[in-house]
Amino acid sequence: MMAGEVHPWLVWGAWGAGGLLASGMVLTFLRIALGPTLADRVVAVDVLATMIIGALAVVALATGTPLLLDIALAIALIVFLGTVAMAMTIERGIFK
């Protein structure tokens, strides 16, 4: 194998992980749409963002592009701040 080439098993594993992440994202979209409370929807958005971060990590691993890991880290920080802000807003009773 030459430098920069990706092993075929890694590509197959990435496709499998991508399929699992895609099916999980569909179920998470259902929770966002049908969630009975706002807290359920906030948790579902957090789970969806985690799955997007996982998908970026899988693509970075399969393609050998480390820049995607930096993007995933930035998304994780933004989502964390958004989740904390929504939790504080729900706790104060602004949204019910």
Report the distance separating Cα 26 and Cα 11, nearest Å.
23
2 pLDDT exceeds 60?
A: no
* 60 neighbors 68 (Cβ within 8 angstroms): yes
More confident residue, 6 or 52: 52
DSSP string, 48-91: HHHHHHHHHHHHHHHHT-THHHHHHHHHHHHHHHHHHHHHHHHH
pLDDT bucket at 94, cuts 50 / 70 / 90? confident
**Taking CA 93 as the corner, what is the angle to CA 89 and CA 96, rounded to the nearest 5 degrees?**
100
Average pLDDT over residues 53-66: 89
pLDDT at site 4: 62
pLDDT bucket at 95, cuts 50 / 70 / 90? confident
* 87 neighbors 45 (Cβ within 8 angstroms): no
Average pLDDT over residues 26-51: 93
